Structure formats: structure tokens, C-alpha cells
A = this chain, B = another copy of it.
Amino acid sequence: MTFLKQDSLHKQVAELLVVRASGHLYDSQREYPLWELSNDDLQACLGMGIGGVILFGGCTKELQHRCQTLREWAETPLLLCADIEEGVGQRFQGGTWLAPPMAVGRLYLQDPHNALLYAEQYGRCIGAQARRCGLNWVLAPVCDVNSNPSNPVINMRAWGEDPVAVSKLVCAFNKGVASEGVLTCAKHFPGHGDTAIDSHLQLPVVDHELARLELFEFLPFKAAISSGVSSVMTAHILLSKIDESYPATLSSKVLTKILREKIGFDGLLVTDALVMKAISDQFGSNEAALMAFEAGADLIMMPKDPLGAINAICEGLLSGRVPMQRLEEALSRREKALAKPKVLTNSSNFTLLIDNHASFESPEECAFSDDLLRRCIEIRNPSEIPHEQCGVNLLRFDGVFNSSFLSNTSPAICLPQKAGYEPVLCHKFGVSPWQDDDTEPLALERFGQGAFLLQLFLRGNPFQGSIDEKKRWLTVVKQLTRKDRLAGLIVYGSHYLWEELLQAMPSSIPTAYCPGQTPRAQSMVLSSLFSYLDFEKDCHLSTFVQFMD
């Protein structure tokens, strides 16, 4: 083995890595500097042949610059991807953030024909906007069937709760993205829908037999593969009946025996992020990278230490632990994916325009987004929420920082204020609203004297642990109803929570549900419940927290 040959081996292995970077341009702007490479490190990585970058944060204009720069730094045509399952706007300011896939899944129950059209348009919107930013790979669709309502990590991200419906919807979505010349990714194989543990924090165990998996969890993946999905992403879950030693990401039984040989998938197979605790804690990141590669993965997503991962894989190949054929097939699959027609591979087929458009989104995309929201908002008891003297607008959020749907001008905060409901934010880093009382959990003396408008922004979000807040809010609804202090309830996000609370809601109280949480979604729901307000005029805080000197 000469140095030259080893050097070229390193470069070839490097191509299989996907490293994480901020969509912001400058190091000082990174939101997660421990996870996002600095520009110097990024340039070094790309210079040594690393072949993929996953981007988070920033605005669409920054992302355009970013993609251009990354391609200039790169040795090889890059895979540039993002977790934009619900639209470019989910990660990058300026793009469209659509109602979550589950909203389309719920429409399917009533109107399958139109739901499939929506799913395809959903994909087109994401594909077109991703391409406009310079990305060539969308890490969607989620093919997990959310059969467990307590799933903390999939939940609203799934296209439904039934494998057949999900299969049809993900194929329509895939068709939409692909029509824009953008690669797709079916995730998280072999199916992450029936878990109640967040794999970002711990390793979930699924104890289904292969027979059940084939009839249920596998269906959407098989369908997506048949409809030409570009890649499949592995799940960090342990299938105890299939491989009791290794999680799917590291299991050759799952990846090679089942996905490659049994199901016959011959596209790109990418791991979920290796920094996730379910993997990194148990196996170490470098060894995990080698194990995943050995088990059948082609691309290694977000290893903790990219150089360490490259070295580990090179050693595995040189020592004969992994056959060189694994490298050849992974590289060839990567090349084949990038060679698909219309896929962006270099700066020459992407022009960075100094554009004067008033919007990054096309009018059609805006109309689609609004239309989808309108279709999936549910209003029960469509009466007005009355004006109130000292009303309390209690807003429940996961967190208040870095939120793309929360600001001083968010409709959910400003509009009820115009009707006398002062905002009080409730989140895990705030002063506690709770007292130690099973039937009266809300400590009412910490709030104003008037009626409550409850606005609950809650969906199964990763990294939030598995706190079941549903019961607590159910008790709050009962507590406030008993005291005749509940003026209205809006749930933004989880329909599981909505359905539970709805049963406890007296029919006289205005109640609404919206799967989306964006300002636009808030505005649409609230315009039904406060239609007596002048929306154009009233949509700002009276106590503007804004500097103007």
C-alpha cells in the first residue's frame, strides 16, 4: 500500500461522509458552534474530499451564498442536504413552512384523492425551493407510520397512522420533489413510528416480529423505493426480534439482509446522525461509522469526528474487516444519484441572482400553503371569544428561543391582547405555573383575574424528553371550566392532544385546532375566533419591544 494509494483511499472514503454546517455565513453566527463546523474546518474537510454537507439555520439568501461557497471549496460534486420535511422555511428563514405531513394524512381520511394531490404539491414546493437555495437533496419523506400516539420523535412528522395511506402519500410527495430534480430520502428504516422513546436521548427498542414489520412498517418504504426514492435513512432503534445486539443503523441483518437483499433496495443508504445519543453513547462515533459502513450503509451522516470516522473506515478496509467492494458500491451509488437528470452538481448549473423579488416563495407556493392550512384547521363552537377586562392569554411552548414562529408580532400573542388577553408564556425555563394539587394544577394566583384563553403549541418534538403533558392540560381545562374561567382553547400541533381536550370542553366554549404553528397558521385560526378585531391594523403589540431611536 503506497502513500499515494492510501491518500486516494482516504479521499474515496471521505466522499461518503456528510458533515454538519450552519446555513449562516459566518462562524460567529452559528447557533450550535459545538456541532457545526467552523468555516476553516469546513473548507479543510471539503478540501480533503468530504462529499456531503447537511445545513441548518440562516435565511434562504445566506443559504444560496453558502451552497455556492461550499461547491467552490469542494473537491468533488457535493450532496447538499437539509432536514426540510415541512418546507425550506422549517430551517431557513424566508422559505415556506407548510403544515406538517400529518395534516395531509388527516385530510386523506376524508378526501384521499385531493390529499394525494396535496402531497405531490407539498413535495414540489419543497423541491423547487430547495433547488432555488442550491440544495440537491431533501431528507424526506418520513416513511414511519405513527402507530404510537405517544411517539415523541415522529408524531406529526409522519404522513399518517395507516401504512397503506402513508405509502400512497409518500409516493406522491416523492414524485413532487423528484419532479424538481432534487434527490429524496425515505426515513427512518425499518420504521420509527411505534416507539415511545426519543432516539436523540436513548435507544428505543421495537419488539415486532419480521412478519409484522413486513405487513406494516415496511410498506411505505417499499412503496417509496418502487416509486424511485433516491435514498433511505436508517433508524437508531433496536429491533429485538431481528438483531438483539445492534441498532438498525449498525445492523447488517437489517440493512443488508433485509433492506438490500429481501426488499431489493439498490439506492443510497445513509445513516441517521451518528452524534445522536442512542449511538454515540454506546459505540463511540468512529467505531459506529465503521460498523454502519460494514453493515451496509453507503453514507455516514454527522459523525462526531469526521477525520476519525474516515480513518476508522480506511483501517477497516485495509485490514480486510470490510471488503473493498463495499467502498466501490457505495461510491458508485453516490455517483449514480448525482448523475440523475437535472440534479445540481456544481456552481455552473446554479446562478446566484441578485434578485429583486418581494418574496422567495412563488405566489403559487404561498397559495398552496394557505390552502393546506385552511383545509386542516378545525373550529368547534365557532362563536367569538369575547372581549375581556383582565384576560389571561396563556401560551404553552416547548421553548422561547430560536423559534421561527414566535416573536413580538406573532398573532397568537398580539391579537388576543387587543381583546384584553395579556400574554403569559409557559415553557420549561419559565417561572412555574404549577402547584402541587392533582385537580387544581394551575396556580391561579400567579395570573390575572380574568378569563383564560389557552393556546397550546405542542407536538411530539425531538429532544424534549417524553413528558406527557396531555393529562396535565386536560386537568387544567377541567379546572378552568369548573371555575368558569375558560374563554377559549386553541391547540397548535398535536391532534392527539386536541382530541383528548375536546372531550372535556363544554360545547359553549370556542375551541380550535391547527396542525401548523407558524404566524400564518396562528393568524388564520385567530381570525375565526376574534373576527371583530381589525386584523391588518391590530396585528402588533401595543407595548412594542422595539428599539427606534
Residues of A within 8 A of B (CB): 24-29, 31-35, 38-40, 43, 56, 58-62, 65, 68-69, 72-73, 83, 85, 93-94, 139, 142, 153, 157, 187-188, 200, 272-273, 275-276, 302, 352, 354, 356-361, 398-403, 406-410, 413, 423-426, 429-433, 443, 446-447, 461-465, 537, 539-540, 543-549
- Interchain CB contact under 8 A, A446 and B431: yes
- Interchain CB contact under 8 A, A359 and B28: yes
- Interchain CB contact under 8 A, B39 and A358: yes
Known: A29-B59, A32-B409. A549 touches B462 (CB 8 A): yes
Q: Which residues of B contact A462 (CB under 8 A)?
A: 547-549
Contact of A399 among B72, B139, B402, B545 (CB under 8 A): B545
Residue of A73, A400, A446, A548 with most partner-chain B CB within 10 A: A548
- Interchain CB contact under 8 A, B547 and A461: yes
Contact of A431 among B27, B409, B424 (CB under 8 A): B424
- Interchain CB contact under 8 A, A31 and B407: yes
Contact of A463 among B25, B28, B544 (CB under 8 A): B544
- Interchain CB contact under 8 A, A34 and B539: yes
Q: How far is the CA of A59 from the CA of B432 in the complex (A)?
A: 35
- Interchain CB contact under 8 A, B431 and A545: no
Q: How far is the CA of A461 from the CA of B62 in the complex (A)?
A: 31
Q: How far is the CA of A506 from the CA of B462 in the complex (A)?
A: 43
CB distance from A454 to the nearest CB of B (A): 14
Q: Beyond A61-B65, A402-B408, A463-B546, list 15 extra A-B contacts (CB 8 Å).
A: A25-B94, A25-B360, A26-B360, A28-B360, A29-B93, A32-B409, A32-B546, A61-B62, A142-B549, A188-B549, A275-B548, A401-B408, A432-B446, A462-B547, A463-B545
Q: Which chain B residue shows the least CB distance to A43?
A: B356
CB distance from A179 to the nearest CB of B (A): 23
Q: Which chain B residue shows the least CB distance to A66?
A: B61
Q: How far is the CA of A537 from the CA of B33 in the complex (A)?
A: 10
Q: Which residues of B contact A93 (CB under 8 A)?
A: 24, 29
Q: How far is the CA of A188 from the CA of B548 in the complex (A)?
A: 12
Q: Which residues of B contact A354 (CB under 8 A)?
A: 65, 68-69, 352
Q: Which chain B residue shows the least CB distance to A93?
A: B29
Q: Which residues of B contact A402 (CB under 8 A)?
A: 407-408, 545
Q: Which residues of B contact A157 (CB under 8 A)?
A: 549
What 8 pairs across the A-B complex have the smallest Cβ distances?
Answer: A39-B358, A431-B431, A399-B545, A400-B400, A431-B433, A430-B430, A401-B407, A423-B429
- Interchain CB contact under 8 A, A409 and B549: no
Q: Which residues of B contact A432 (CB under 8 A)?
A: 431, 446-447
Q: Which chain B residue shows the least CB distance to A402?
A: B407
- Interchain CB contact under 8 A, A31 and B409: yes
Known: A24-B94, A83-B547, A93-B29. A424 touches B433 (CB 8 A): no
Q: Which residues of B contact A429 (CB under 8 A)?
A: 413, 423-425
- Interchain CB contact under 8 A, A549 and B61: no
Residue of A142, A357, A447 with most partner-chain B CB within 10 A: A357
Contact of A358 among B40, B56, B302, B423 (CB under 8 A): B40
Q: Which chain B residue shows the least CB distance to A301?
A: B548
- Interchain CB contact under 8 A, B187 and A549: yes
Q: Which residues of B contact A68 (CB under 8 A)?
A: 354
- Interchain CB contact under 8 A, A29 and B83: no
Q: Which residues of B contact A58 (CB under 8 A)?
A: 59
- Interchain CB contact under 8 A, B85 and A549: yes
Q: How far is the CA of A413 from the CA of B399 in the complex (A)?
A: 13
CB distance from A385 to the nearest CB of B (A): 19
- Interchain CB contact under 8 A, A73 and B356: yes
- Interchain CB contact under 8 A, B545 and A61: no
- Interchain CB contact under 8 A, A83 and B431: no
CB distance from A444 to the nearest CB of B (A): 11
Q: Which chain B residue shows the least CB distance to A442?
A: B431
Q: Which residues of B contact A407 (CB under 8 A)?
A: 31, 401-402
Q: How far is the CA of A517 from the CA of B455 in the complex (A)?
A: 31
Q: Which residues of B contact A39 (CB under 8 A)?
A: 356-358
Q: Which chain B residue shows the least CB distance to A547?
A: B462
CB distance from A97 to the nearest CB of B (A): 10
